[in-house]
Structure 1
Amino acid sequence: MPSSPQAVADRALWQQAQLHLRDGRYLQAQRAFDRLLERNPALVPARLMCAATLLAQGRLRAACEQMRRAAGAPGSDAALVCRVAQALSAIGETTAARACLAHPAVASTRSGAALVALAHVHQGLGEHPQALALMDRARALGHADADFRYYRALQLQFNGRLHEAEAEMEACLRDGSTIGRASLSLTRIRRQRPDAHHVDALRARLRQASPGSEDLAAIAFALHKELDDLDDRAPAWEALRLANATMAARLPRYDCVAEANLFDALIARSGAAALANVATPSPGPTPIFIVGLPRSGTTLLERVLGNHSRVAAAGELDDFPRQLRWCADTHGHALLDHDLLQASARIDFAELGQRYLAQTRWRAGGRDFYIDKLPPNFMLLGFIRRALPQARVVHVSRASMDVCFSNYRAMFGTAYGYSYGFESLAHYHGQYRRLMAHWHAAMPGFVLDLPYELLVHDSEAATARLFDFCGLPFEPGCGDTTRNTGAVATLSAAQVRQPIHARGLGEWRRYEHQLEPLRALIEPA
């Protein structure tokens, strides 16, 4: 049958918008999508593309509105529901994304690909039991490609099913797939032993990996970890040096001047007078922010605090930085940059607090407090103070060399590019220390410093101090992390399921000679 005049006109507008997009004419593309949506408001793909053109112009609020409208009419196609949920989650519209995930199409679909994609949305929201359940549905439908098996193995690990995760990672490697990622994930699951390790296999994979590749870096990090577990220090160090050099070469060079300028600008805009101007506290469940450098013990503290009967552990949330960007109407992917900092002058902090709470309070699950554990939120504490004065903030501090060495031993991908070199690592650590000193001076009493060393040496004393600060009654036994069976998705996912131990204290001294240049930068004479 011939197409109707409206269908022909709609196709013409769609093609026109696509041509504008191809040539980078975002405003013209947006106008074409606007006309198309005036004619057909229920055309969800067009609404999502319109949102993308708005983001390309930096118009975050308008893009969010388009995505929320798309969520109101996704139809019955699970793949389209998933696209909407992915888009909403990516820009911080958490509650709308969760509503999409509850759509009847999700329960009825028999598309393995759609189920896997929806599982990734749950994973991004920190809902790991739900993510694994969808992956298991996909597996029952025959979905079994290499990437799927790898990500399902990660979900098994996050959900505490470590033996199954180890077996699935081994199967991935036997298939010859996901070599780098699976090699590193496998070795993190447990401490290696002389009678049970993968050193020979890792060395063989390292020889086969493409020079300069991310696979090579991941295998080298894995080899370091296994050799270190076996106390074979000289080759362990060489593997670690290779891993970091490979990642450093893959990323843009760390700019010490630009980083220091950003911290300078943040401090200049965050004086005591400005920070005293706070929003009115809101009733309801109270967020507890756990901050610090990566690998400082933030996950361990979350597990301890999450043992309390009145506290829910929500994992690493990006809701506050997302809502900060919404209130500033400034699109971007960095936690903080100069554009956002400049735009923060026009933020309504009461609105920021309300939007953050609207996106996160469901995570409390009926409890009085919930934990938001995103380590780099230490940069945003001034904004948190102004938007959420009722919040509690706990900063996990760790001895400088211990935390820096732990960063150097970790593969963070592109997340913390400073961690792959001594100079950049020492410089970033110095900026972090400088900013934390500023927050304490400008907001006395708002942030509790809790030393990692106290947490591992005397967990009862640490928890008593922590509970007192948060306004919680003391509950004995919260320092027993083995009783916390909740999901965890950080690099410490396997480690924090063990009893608290002090192996990480002074661990850098095992490589004291090799780390002397780093120590000299961090602790100059």
Structure 2
Amino acid sequence: MNASDNAAWAEAQRHVAARRWEQAAAQLQDLLRKHADAAPARLLLAGVMLAQGGVRGAAEQLIATLSSLPADMHLICRVSQSLAKIGETAATLQCLAHPEIARSRSGPALLALAHVRQGLGQHEQALALMERAREAGLNDADFLYFHALQLQFNGRIAEAEGELESCLAKGPSFGRASLTLARIRRQTADSNHLDALHRRLAVVPHGSEDHAAVEFALHKEFDDIGRYEQAWEALQRGNGIMHRRLGYDTAAEEAVFDALIERFPQSLNTAPDAPVGGPQPIFIVGMPRSGTTLLERIVGNHSQVMPAGELADLPKQLRWTADRHGHPLMDLPLLEATRTLDPALLGRRYLQQSQWRAAGRRYYVDKLPPNFMLVGFIRQALPQAKILHMIREPMEICFSNYRALFGDAYAYSYGLDSLAHHYRQYRRLMAHWHAVAPGFVLDVAYDALVQDTVSTARRVLDFCGLAFEAECLDIAGNRAPVATLSSAQVRAPIHQRALGEWRRYAEPLQPLCRALAATD
């Protein structure tokens, strides 16, 4: 670029810094008319378009960078991250095939691309990139933590445990690693981390998420060894920290659920030209910690099914189709934008961006629990899809949420009243989907799945149009990567140990019992 172009580029960046989006967009578009292959300008213009609330225009700009993307690892990382963020999965895979990646020895860049692969559910590829990042010199606490997670996701549990210990040796107040280490196996009176956890409490920033994570780790380890009073106290402290950090807006969440029900008030008609070709999704939905991962492992063991993990494909394609950028799975502006939505287009977009995950099989499992909010859209856009809905006894599921640290993903989970309120919204929405799309969703009870696994699995497979295969029940032999809170435990044979866990804390959980009873 000449001096005039450089001045225009600098001016565009000043507009962006000042959040003058329209002026920035005009400046960048002028620049691209002269330099169509200027990838940094297209990348910046895509960011400007997202800031203005649009998705499709940003996607066009990002995809246009791929034909002339230079051998610049920093730029390759930014483009791949941006494409993945807005759900352009096919283009993300194209970017990840850039030949410069195979040559790179940049540890930070390789780690960044590992996170992109992880976000796509490609955990074996993510681990391979992390191994290369380690060879390139990365070895700080953050890297060791993320490397340990990938080892765990890929079933290398003993190695993950050692890596977490190494991480904590470098970062003594590293809360996430403390909690992951506590969860990776059952602790005993003779072998636990309680002394180390108490030492970390003395140095962790008070009121931080690290602080909360150490408290959740204490709860897990005290619970394992039967010291339930101390376990409950730690759990209360951890949840109190997170509740103070995040809050929970009862009215705002209720408004979204009300609007969803209003958006689909009667029997759901399917799109006349809804897509049907190629591999088809089996959605698994429900509240987190309801047993969705266990169900995925069973269905995913079938010879005609590929377990793809927790996918953000549907929410991202919904936002692309509605052309409404945002981060929540559902909010009122997005819902309003969907009133003119083309369901057939949503179905085509979803399949175009996700069918590669089937790897030649007839079906693939899309297991994102909060997709229960999107059943109406699935019915209209993908009427041939199957939806399995995991249900669990109210106290079981609410307590399981209360003892999980979800970061900022589920603010409702950090208070007993907010848990009961969210459960009520979830239950009434699922009742609505059953009313307006009868037979489209199969409820699968967690108790039945672990107590009468064979007959429950037969019913699930029959609903999906699949013949029963005994291999489906061998979840301990399933070596596929899994990236959930239960990624260490789900590799064990099917068991009933999680039934009734809340009863150890029945007395302090009475407020939750009463709040749930009030929802009936």
Instruction: Give the match for residue 487 of structure 1.
Output: 481
Instruction: Give the match for residue 258 of structure 1.
Output: 252
Matched AA of 2:297: R
Query: How far apart, in 2, do the equivalents of 1:478 and 1:522 lie?
Result: 35
Does structure 2 conserve the Cα–Cα contact (< 8 Å) formed by 1:172 and 1:178?
Answer: no
Single out whichever of 110-119 and 290-299 deviates more from structure 2.
Answer: 110-119
- Residues 279/406 of structure 1: CA separation in 2 closer, same or farther (3 Å cut): farther
2:499 is the alignment partner of 1:499? no
Superposed structure 1 runs of 4+ greater than 6 Å apart: none
Q: How big is the shift at 1:38?
A: 1.2
Secondary structure of the corresponding residue to residue 358 of structure 1: helix
Query: How far apart, in 2, do the equivalents of 1:279 and 1:203 lie?
Result: 60
Q: Which runs of 5+ in 1 are unaligned?
A: 1-5
Instruction: Give the match for residue 230 of structure 1.
Output: 225
Instruction: Give the match for residue 411 of structure 1.
Output: 405
Query: How far apart, in 1, do the equivalents of 2:254 and 2:133 lie?
Result: 47
Secondary structure of the corresponding residue to residue 282 of structure 1: coil
Instruction: Give the match for residue 362 of structure 2.
Output: 368
**How many residues get paired?**
519
2:381 is the alignment partner of 1:390? no
Instruction: Give the match for residue 3 of structure 1.
Output: none
Alpha-carbon deviations, 1:259-295, whole Å to 9, x = none?
Answer: 1121111101112344455643411111000000000
Correspondent of 2:347 among 346, 353, 361: 353
Query: How far apart, in 1, do the equivalents of 2:494 and 2:467 lie?
Result: 22
Alpha-carbon deviations, 1:96-143, whole Å to 9, x = none?
Answer: 001111111111111112111111110111100001101111112222
2:179 is the alignment partner of 1:184? yes
Alpha-carbon deviations, 1:364-414, whole Å to 9, x = none?
Answer: 000000000000000000000100000000000000000000000000000
Matched AA of 1:400: P
Secondary structure of the corresponding residue to residue 478 of structure 1: helix
Instruction: Give the match for residue 123 of structure 2.
Output: 128
Query: How far apart, in 2, do the equivalents of 1:76 and 1:353 lie?
Result: 35
TM-score for both structures, normalised by structure 2: 0.98
Instruction: Give the match for residue 203 of structure 2.
Output: 208
Q: How big is the shift at 1:40?
A: 1.2
Matched AA of 1:478: C
Query: How far apart, in 2, do the equivalents of 1:175 and 1:140 lie?
Result: 19
Matched AA of 1:203: H
Q: How big is the shift at 1:150?
A: 1.0
Instruction: Give the match for residue 92 of structure 1.
Output: 87
Does structure 2 conserve the Cα–Cα contact (< 8 Å) formed by 1:317 and 1:374?
Answer: yes
Alpha-carbon deviations, 1:426-477, whole Å to 9, x = none?
Answer: 0000000000000001100000000000111011111100110000011013
2:465 is the alignment partner of 1:471? yes
2:35 is the alignment partner of 1:63? no
2:289 is the alignment partner of 1:295? yes
Correspondent of 2:313 among 311, 319, 330: 319
Matched AA of 1:506: G
Alpha-carbon deviations, 1:52-98, whole Å to 9, x = none?
Answer: 11111112111111111112221112222121111100110011001
Does structure 2 conserve the Cα–Cα contact (< 8 Å) formed by 1:146 and 1:178?
Answer: no
Matched AA of 1:143: L
Does structure 1 conserve the Cα–Cα contact (< 8 Å) formed by 2:270 and 2:381?
Answer: no
Query: How far apart, in 2, do the equivalents of 1:439 and 1:260 lie?
Result: 16
Q: Which runs of 5+ in 2 are unaligned?
A: none
Secondary structure of the corresponding residue to residue 488 of structure 1: coil
Query: How far apart, in 2, do the equivalents of 1:275 and 1:266 lie?
Result: 16
Query: How far apart, in 2, do the equivalents of 1:481 and 1:326 lie?
Result: 36
Does structure 2 conserve the Cα–Cα contact (< 8 Å) formed by 1:279 and 1:386?
Answer: no
Instruction: Give the match for residue 377 of structure 1.
Output: 371
Matched AA of 2:90: T
Secondary structure of the corresponding residue to residue 208 of structure 1: coil
Does structure 1 conserve the Cα–Cα contact (< 8 Å) formed by 2:390 and 2:445?
Answer: yes
Alpha-carbon deviations, 1:29-61, whole Å to 9, x = none?
Answer: 011111111111111111111001111111211
2:173 is the alignment partner of 1:163? no
Matched AA of 1:106: I
Instruction: Give the match for residue 414 of structure 2.
Output: 420
Q: How big is the shift at 1:177?
A: 5.0
Alpha-carbon deviations, 1:329-384, whole Å to 9, x = none?
Answer: 11110111111111111111111100000000000000000000000000000000
Instruction: Give the match for residue 434 of structure 2.
Output: 440
Query: How far apart, in 1, do the equivalents of 2:135 and 2:54 lie?
Result: 42
Secondary structure of the corresponding residue to residue 205 of structure 2: coil
Q: How big is the shift at 1:225?
A: 0.3
Alpha-carbon deviations, 1:198-233, whole Å to 9, x = none?
Answer: 011111211222221111100000000000010100
Query: How far apart, in 2, do the equivalents of 1:138 and 1:359 lie?
Result: 28
Query: How far apart, in 2, do the equivalents of 1:91 and 1:277 lie?
Result: 24
Instruction: Give the match for residue 39 of structure 1.
Output: 34
Query: How far apart, in 2, do the equivalents of 1:81 and 1:222 lie?
Result: 37
